[in-house]
Structure 1
Amino acid sequence: MGVMPDDETRTPTLGEAPATTAPPSGRTPPGQRPTGPSPWFLRLVMAGLVLAALNLRPAITSLGALLEEVRDGLGMSGSVAGVLTSVPPLCFALFGVMAPRLARRFGAGAVVCAGMVAIAVGLAVRPFTGGAAGFLAASALALMGIAVSNILMPVIVKRWFPDRVGTMTGLYSMALALGTALAAAVTVPMTDALSGSWKAGLALWGVLAAVAVLPWTALVRDRGNAPGQPAAHRRKGPAPRITRSRTAWALASFFGLQATAAYITMGWMPQIFRDAGVSAGTAGLLLAVTMAMGVPLAFVIPRVASRMRNQGPIAVFLSACGLVGYAGLYLAPAAGAWVWALLLGVANCAFPLALTMIGLRSRTGAGVVRLSAFAQSTGYLISIPGPLLVGVLYQHSGGWGLPIGLMAALMLPQMIAGVLAGRDRTIEDEC
């Protein structure tokens, strides 16, 4: 394992967009045209990344906080509600596949802008559709916007900040974690402040998505190459099949297994604590602590990972935290509840690590688009059965021994996949 120079100063590899540099005075020398975007424009892109990331999870976690009220209000059966909770990873997998083709045709900025519009419309409309079918359709619209934006966030980072992949990945990963925790924490109090109207409480999240549309309108017409990247680096002819890359498969497996653990944690951890004798309020607070751990660590981990030639040791550490956390849930769920919640919160930070490796395992922006789409779409497909299987094991075994055993067992292949995905190589080498 070697340590690289700071990701903001390292020399790009062959095919990677070089960083644009400016003279110390901040002014372009006489007779030389500026080759990169202006600082204000980069700040606008940065604001767009943060606002977009804040909107990539509230559609899910705000609904979870009011699921009982939504079921009663729309007359949903338990089966329909179960389908509703399993729709997000399915939509992420199906719609995420569309992102590379859309980005090639319209540009990544335009697609993310359209994604924010879809999220805003879907969230604003779904509470007022008047039935379960309309609610599901509007939710699918919002999730489609989230899916394509999920895929293209690493692409935007690679395009506009090729010399700061770790820093910018950490910034939007932190914003994503903040949006996740914020929607879970404030949706119910916000609904209570609106005279208990769950419709208004859910629809208000559409306002945040509408605000996120604004900075992306400046990137709608941007369809060119990364700043400073010569035309010779643009791929000509058909691209090699990414399925030939072992690193791509390892990264997809790592992404899928960490997503499995995250959805199991969000869906079932409060019930584990409640069955162990912890009060409902405390169980919800423990979940909030687990989710909140992702806010600072989602910024730190990508920065550290981008300075290392091999990210495998970080994947091993995070999986080990998960193993200890699950062992604690099995042996003493109530006595050490806060410790296990903290450890599982650290383990859940495999998500920003996966996003960082997507940006590092390809030399070009085009490669990042393909790798991001493949790893995330395949990964979300892998994650679908996990939460359902935990529920089946819990129902048929009558306890949490077998489900927790399954959760712990999944940490081992996640660890192996992380080691393989973290090796210092690119998909271009393998394809």
Structure 2
Amino acid sequence: MIQRIDLRGQSLSRADLLGVLPRPELGVEEATGVVAPILADVRARGAAALRDLAERFDGVRPEHVRVPAAALTDALATLDPTVRAGLEEAIARVRTVHAAQRPTEHTTVLADGAEVRQRWIPVQRVGLYAPGGLAVYPSSVIMNVVAAQEAGVPALAVASPPQRDSAGLPHPTILAACALLGVDEVYAVGGAQAVAMFAYGAAGSEPADGDVLCEPVDVITGPGNVYVAAAKRLVRGVVGIDAEAGPTEIAVLADDTADADHVALDLISQAEHDPLAGSVLVTPSVELAGSVEARLVDMASATKHAARVTTALGGSQSAVVLVDDLDQGLAVVDAYGAEHLEIQTADAAALAERVTSAGAIFVGPYSPVSLGDYMAGSNHVLPTGGTARFASGLGVHAFLRSVQVIEYSRDALAELADRIVAVADDEDLPAHGEAVRGRF
């Protein structure tokens, strides 16, 4: 079912590893050609394009592109109490973790009358995306909204695909999560078109929409498929983005102390997201590899989404990777840069401290990715496709800007004037020096 890649006995460079490790066949580069016309259409035609694209991709033409307030209230009123309790617990834990992420402002005094103050200013408006294709993700609403709220963002909008079974509105649990969080600006828009709406804004096309359906935002965040990731890449620079979050992925670094059932279950749990999801086991243990491969066959066929799981596990993006030892395994997972990295080894905590590239690290047998998906308190909006080598998971920092405030007195500037003039003249920018000298 799952391919095996044997790297034992090989001395591979970083470039070699990047070339041999499994990835989806359809990447962001290829998807940009598909989504570029979608972005242009939404930018040109606004809400009319959004309705047409919903009919094309989601199989339903929404009457209300912006969700009516009554629909949010009704969704919360009819939410299963046990699901509500779970969402409330997740909100509380995520809020506690993200409140602790807020940076503090500070002032550095360099001399009498010379100081630089560090401020952290939230962006003014954000667009938050919650996927709704093969599964429903109220948990993603929580991850996006809470991080933005704890950063102090004053205006938040959420988009999620319209559902045929919900009369063209997003899934009721998505709406209920928004209501729990106090978000009342919600759109029945999915995929690349949601990214376009947030980046460029959208004019209304019907009286109920008003002249302006959606105002442009400053930052777009949220997970999605490869087309959402491609759309984010194309609008980066027009707006800020969190990361190019494409199909989900998990890497498990394990030795012979790992429980094969645990490893197989965790690989399957990510594979059920998407046929393009990547599940990778990296291990020096041939015995563990064989046991996991056997269990995957049995467990995958028994799970609810067996067809989806089997496709993902059998795809080019999934593999069991054999290595000589855990040091080589660490080099492999650092090159891979997994969205989710589980470490199930005898000394998992120490090994986790040596990891340099991962969206989030799950340490030991009782910290599965599923915990982080819902209630660990960490954020599950994480970089995929190897971008964890340079990008971070979602947090309050995604919605904050660092601004320095410089305040010098006359005497403090005078002390530096000659030195500023000397450097400015050396750079052949004499007006810079004159701007200082002219004050004296």
Task: Tell me which interval the TM-score lies in, with the shorter structure as reference length.
Answer: under 0.3
Q: TM-score w.r.t. structure 1 length? A: 0.23
Higher-strand-fraction structure: 2
- Point out which structure has higher relative CO (alpha carbons under 8 A, 6+ apart): 1
Q: TM-score w.r.t. structure 2 length? A: 0.23
Higher-helix-fraction structure: 1
Larger Rg: 2
